[in-house]
Amino acid sequence: MSNHANYSSSLLRLLLLILIVVGIELAAGGKRPVEIPDELDDVVDDEEDEAWKEWGKRSAPPVKFDPPPTDFSGMDLSEIQAEMLKRHSGPAFGFVKLRLGVRRSPDMVAEIAMKWTKVLRTGAIEANFMGVDISTVMFTMEKGQDITEVSFSHL
């Protein structure tokens, strides 16, 4: 009986070992590592998308020159500003008047300017603000086209 128990125990251990090995193979997905041959002359690479093909090429010139109107008398202020911004391409600067009647020290104005600079950087707008006096902040922008993204109506 002891031989039969030894044989059953050995058989059970062998079966358990086989199950563990098979389980490991299944857990690994039965995948073998991908082997890439050194000879790649016959491989066709046609997976490039259109954006990749256009990368690095010069952009097409503007369609045509659209000169500004010669007579601004029939336009209101917002239309004139819109016409000016259409053709603006370089750096821009401006001044912001802070709310009147609020007492501020020069340090408070510098802190406000620093906060505005950080807030606009979170929106990917490159602008620098600096205090001019206790009620005025000056800003400079490298890309003048971004000026339409900035609204000072809440100050």
- Residue 98 lies in domain: 89-155
CATH code: domain of residue 120: 3.30.70
Reported as type and span, the H/E element at residue 83 is: helix 77-86
Per-residue pLDDT reduced to its tens digit, 10-43: 888 888 888 887 777 766 665 667 787 888 788 7
Distance CA(144)–CA(61), nearest Å, equals 20
> How many percent of the chain have pLDDT more than 90?
4
pTM: 0.41
pLDDT, tens digit (0-9, with 9 covering 90-100), for 115-138: 988 888 887 778 888 898 988 998
Assess if residue 99 is contained within a domain.
yes
Mean pLDDT over the full length of the chain: 78
Per the model's pLDDT, the better-predicted residue between 21 and 108 turns out to be 108
In a domain, 130, yes or no: yes
Q: How many domains does the chain have?
A: 2
Residue 129 belongs to some domain of the structure: yes
Residue 112 in domain:
yes
pLDDT value of position 47: 73
What percent of the chain is helix, strand and coil (3-state, nearest 5)?
A: 40, 10, 45
Q: What are phi and psi of 61, to 5 degrees?
A: -65, 155
- Of all residues in the chain, what percent carry a pLDDT higher than 70? 76
pLDDT of residue 155: 46
Do 134 and 106 touch, CB atoms closer than 8 A?
Answer: yes
Task: Average the pLDDT over 85-103 and give the result.
Answer: 80
Contacts of 92 (CB under 8 A, 6+ apart): 140, 141, 144, 147
Residue 93 lies in a domain: yes
pLDDT for 111 = 92
Residue 30, CA distances (Å) to 26, 27, 50, 81, 83 in order: 6, 7, 37, 67, 66
Calculated CA dihedral for residues 88, 121, 116, 151, nearest 10 degrees: 40
In a domain, 106, yes or no: yes
In a domain, 116, yes or no: yes
Q: What angle do CA 59, 140, 89 make, to 5 degrees?
A: 25
Q: Is residue 124 part of a domain?
A: yes
